Amino acid sequence: SPFNCAFQAMENEVAAAFNMGQADEVMSSAFKLKITREDIHTLRNLCWVNDKIINFYLGLVVERSKKEGYPVVHAFSTFFFPKLYSGGYKAVARWTKTVDLFKKDMILVPIHSHMHWTLAVIDIREKIVKYFDSMGQKGDYICQILLKYLQEESSEKRNMKMDISEWSVHSMEPHEIPQQLNGSDCGVFVCKYADYVSRDRPMNFMQAHMPYFRKKMAWEIIHQVLL
């Protein structure tokens, strides 16, 4: 069938990308990022994906969100939270020079701590900051830091005090979101949380889907489009 042919072609292309070659060969470039073969190789089974892969993938999520019928999404890079955490609001005030966060539906914040990737989602529509951890840890304090950031952003950029009493934070419980069963897939989980939440889709994937998701992500990054 045509679908099988197309699928086989995709499989072959990903296999070729995962093969040996020039480590520094550029496989894709967009969002001020160059993805090399070495970066793509972090998507091979059981490897830890690097921050360039996560940032590029979130760039693709944001691009898709510009289409009709999708929630309007902003994604911060993986470097945002460490800067905010260590330097406070002033350290990141300029990050939104050309962005009005309050016109978005949701804001994605990838977070890396202790060799582990997680995702915070600021949902402007629902006035809630949610924390997604594929190992089920709580991240309320991270949500609180982001909520404080949003308050300061509101005062600075639109001269408005945000009514914090209308807002809540919630760390997703292990039974609420898919959980990882190994030590290497957290970055892929973060990307897929972002993919699903940015489409308002129920998260009906699981650990067993990860090898497929890794290949799919490699294809999507090379072609700069989400399937």
Question: What gap in Å lies between CA 27 and CA 151, rounded to an integer?
Answer: 40
- Predicted pLDDT of residue 14: 85
Catalytic residue check, 112 = no
Global confidence as pTM: 0.92
Are the C-beta atoms of 211 and 45 separated by less than 8 Å?
yes
**What is the number of residues in the chain?**
227
State residue 34 phi and psi, 5-degree precision. Answer: -115, 120
- Give the amino acid at 215: K
User: Tokens 């489409």 label which residue?
Assistant: 199
Catalytic residue check, 100 = no
Q: Are strands 128-132 and 33-36 parallel, antiparallel or unpaired?
A: unpaired
Catalytic choice (39, 41, 74, 133): 133
* Among the listed residues 209, 224, 225, 195, the one whose alpha carbon sits nearest the alpha carbon of residue 121: 195
Catalytic choice (41, 143, 186, 191): 186
pLDDT in tens, 132-173: 999 999 999 999 999 999 999 999 988 888 888 899 999 999
Residues 6+ away with beta carbon under 8 Å from 214: 43, 44, 45, 188
What CATH number should be reported for the domain whose range is 2-223? 3.40.395.10
Catalytic choice (112, 116, 170, 209): 116
Range in 8-17, 22-31, 189-198 the model is least confident about = 8-17
Are the C-beta atoms of 34 and 26 separated by less than 8 Å?
yes
Domain extent listing, the chain: 2-223
Are the C-beta atoms of 24 and 16 separated by less than 8 Å?
no
pLDDT in tens, 180-222: 999 899 999 999 999 999 999 999 999 999 999 999 999 999 9
Catalytic residue check, 133 = yes
